[in-house]
Amino acid sequence: MVTTYQTDSPTASVVYMTRDISPAGLMKAYEALGVKPKGKVAVKLSTGEGGNTHYLQPALIKDLVQRLDGTIVECNTAYAGTRNESSKHWETIKEHGFMEIAPVDLQDEEGEIEIPIEGGKRLTSDTVGSHFPNYDYYVVLSHFKGHVMGGFGGALKNISIGIASSHGKERIHSGQDEALPNAFDGDHDSFLEAMAEAATGVFNALHGNMLFINVMNNLSVDCDCDGNPHAPQMNDIGILASLDPVAVDQACVDQVYLSDDNNGPLIERMESRHAIHTVEHAVEMGLGNRNYRLIDLDA
């Protein structure tokens, strides 16, 4: 029997779920949260490495992004590819169709700033793009899937590695061990803990003015940052939404384990990378709760 963190406790974080992976399903998940972002709204997502087609497609997110009058925000990557320099990243963004549906902002194109992190074991601050404070509310749209280093990528990865500047990404990967000749060769658990700490720093800097929607489709063992990802080996699951990034990621992990589809490769990827430790440390940082009440929007 699979153990999950789903509970009926009224004090648990709420996660909404629909199996309808469509523009209407995405809107339903958003509306279920019952919040109305105010001010200038950023929509944080991955624009996808060149050669990858698993990222959240503009046709899926267009209606929600335009409903929010949102600006799609991203930062440059820290590895060689089609998004590690602004000029190449803009070409990728254009090729993937995002500029056709909304304004786009590369937040570290003009520099970076530091935001504080309190109570961390690895990081004392997080390095983010200089445009980060230009927005009042962040709507975080994450494609939940595997990841070659983190085990899985969801809301926590999207607001840590995803919002960090290119240099900030290196700091997180190294666990802030700046003596490393290669930032990607750091202690693995330190990297996972640094992700949780960076996510906490971002959430606190925004005073919680965020919401989180994870789309569980194209469930490859590889991330949208991979230009040649493995094909998905299990079927799509649905869309999950919460105001708690820890709860929504935990709920997605539980859905993978609960699936009676070909979930073995993705489970192996998560377990071999100790992926759940990011969630565990985010709880230690006070970012959110693993226990959640799942509300089925299709019932």
Q: From its phi and psi, is residue 292 left (phi > 0), alpha (psi between -120 and 50) or beta?
A: beta
| pLDDT in 10s for each residue of the chain, 299 residues | 788 999 999 999 999 999 999 999 999 999 999 999 999 999 999 999 999 999 999 999 999 999 999 999 999 999 999 999 999 999 999 999 999 999 999 999 999 999 999 999 999 999 999 999 999 999 999 999 999 999 999 999 999 999 999 999 999 999 988 789 899 998 999 999 999 999 999 999 999 999 999 999 999 999 999 999 999 999 999 999 999 999 999 999 999 999 999 999 999 999 999 999 999 999 999 999 999 999 999 99
Length of the chain: 299
Crossing angle of helices 188-205 and 276-284, in 10° steps, is 50
In the beta sheet, which residues pair with residue 147? 151
Strand 41-44 relative to strand 137-143: parallel, antiparallel, unpaired?
parallel
Cα R_g (the chain), whole angstroms: 17
User: pLDDT (tens digit, 9 = 90+) per residue, 128-186?
Assistant: 999 999 999 999 999 999 999 999 999 999 999 999 999 999 999 999 887 898 999 98
Which pTM does this prediction carry?
0.98
Domains and CATH numbers, the chain: 13-296 (3.40.50)
